[in-house]
Amino acid sequence: MHKTRMVQKITLVPVEERLKAIGEAGYNTFLLKTKDIFLDMLTDSGVNAMSDNQFAAFMRADDAYAGSMTFYEFADAVRDVLGYKYVMNTHQGRAAEHLVAKVFIKPGDVVPTNYHFTTTRAHIELFGASVLEIYYDDALKTESTNPFKGNMDPQKLKNVIKKYGKDKVAFVRMEATTNLIGGQPFSMANLKEIRQICNEHGLILVIDGSLICENAYMIMQREKGYQAKTVAEIVREISSIPDLFYMSGRKNTSVRGGMIATNNKELFDKIRPWLPVYEGFYTYGGMSMREVGAMAVGVREMVDPSVAGCSVEQIKYFVNRLRETGVPVVTPPGGLACHLDAMKFLPHIPQSQYPAGALSAALYIASGIRSMERGSVSMDRDKEGKEVPADVELTRIALPRRVYSISHIEYAIDRINWLYKHRELVKGLKFVWEPPVLRFFDGRLEPIGDWGRNLSDAFKKEVGNN
């Protein structure tokens, strides 16, 4: 439900150049240069298309360092859409995670969550706490008909509280949607049940609402009693339940920024003094005021069903078309991305050789599409330096909002199908260098055997140079 008013040229470089580029990038798609990328489906974070009204807000923003009226326009939007009286900006979602962790976590604590996100886990562990993933047993089944694999298991949460004691539970965290297991939503009924358990034990409930609108859209489609409600009504209901809400604005609001919001002044006042230390003054919080202005518009626009549902519907199309051809994908389709099940796509590669990373690199060679590894490469080593195998090995093909068309998706489907027919050519990877934390961003790997060359030669023989 939009038309394109500006275009950006993209180039499909020849397969030989793609092979050279992935080698220079250490078989890590994060380290590729955009000049070598045809379709950039690495992420939906900070790469979405802004609307015309957001660009207008960008131009008319009040650039004052302190007391900017643009901040108050943003605060009004947060109050009107999410229902929160107190809000602060951060430069992005992980900055919000850092402040929440700093204020509420002490060494030895635990944080139960429906599933971790990479930066969330890092912040929690850096402050001396542990992440406990309290999902239902079927959440990790990549092929499923469960519409809410992002639910938290209430009984497991009760067991955690009993085992550790409520004083050791820093807070309970729900992520909308669970990024690392396929963008899977939680249900409203589950969120309310978790809220009740938190009430009974005096625990803080925190929501990472970075994909709250996709979660709401899927509640509207999948949960009984919500089909007649609007996305705006469901978003407002979700945001009324936690004690504390934070989000990366780089996703739903299509702006590079983030925020923390609440109706609990006591919680807000605990965080507020640290904002100028780590982010910026209270009325800009590490963002440019132009971005704050665009984010204010984005908060209002994100609950429009044509915005909230644009990537969900494209992902559904993408997943269903691949299923028709037998390619193993995560089902049901979620928010954020189409996820390939790398362990089923490449069953001959052991998990110790990073099948999801190998599949991301192979997809780039075969198509020029940049995807992202969401498997064991995304897991940091333990304190003894040993590998921590991921629960699932996924190759994430993200769909930024309002950026790509169905023809781009059809191209991706065609190249993925070709790769699936030649999957035996793809072998594993090994690390040659890695940083101590969040190694997936900057680590360098190399192929086990010269399989990149073999794949490239097969592609040239059957498909051609491009």
DSSP letters for 123-161: HHHHTT-EEEE-B-GGGG-SS---TTTT-B-HHHHHHHH
Give CA separation, 272 vs 83, 84, 173, in Å. Answer: 19, 15, 20
Catalytic residue among 71, 115, 404, 440: 440
Catalytic member of 63, 65, 80, 265: 65
Instruction: For residue 117, indicate whether it is catalytic.
Output: yes
Distance, in Å, from the CA atom of 207 to the CA atom of 191, rounded to the nearest integer, reads: 10
Name the token pair of 464.
């051609």
Options 43, 113, 118, 120, the catalytic residue: 118
User: Rounded distance, CA 355 to CA 369, Å?
Assistant: 17
Beta strands 369-370 and 39-40 are: parallel
Map tokens 């394109």 to a residue. 4
Catalytic pick among 18, 121, 173, 251 = 251
Helix axes 406-421, 355-367, angle to 10 degrees: 120
Catalytic residue check, 374 = yes
Q: Look-up: residue for tokens 């709401």?
A: 216
Spot the catalytic one: 374, 415, 427, 439: 374
Choose, from 208, 243, 341, 380, the residue flagged as catalytic.
208
The edge-to-edge listing of strands for the beta sheet with 394-398 is 337-341, 394-398, 372-374
CA 154 – CA 197 distance, rounded (Å): 8
Catalytic site includes residue 52: no
End-to-end CA distance of the chain: 32
Whether residue 41 contacts residue 408, with contact meaning beta carbons closer than 8 Å, is answered with no
In single-letter form, the type of residue at position 287 comes to M
Cis omega (within 30 of 0) for bond into 177:
yes
The answer to whether the beta carbons of residues 444 and 31 sit under 8 Å apart is: yes
For 82, how many CA atoms within 13 A lie in the half-sphere containing its CB? 33
Active site residue 171: no
Do 442 and 31 contact (CB within 8 A), yes or no?
yes
Tell me the C-alpha to C-alpha distance, in Å, between residue 353 and each of 357, 391, 447.
9, 15, 9
- Which residues have a catalytic role annotated? 65, 117-118, 208, 251, 374, 440
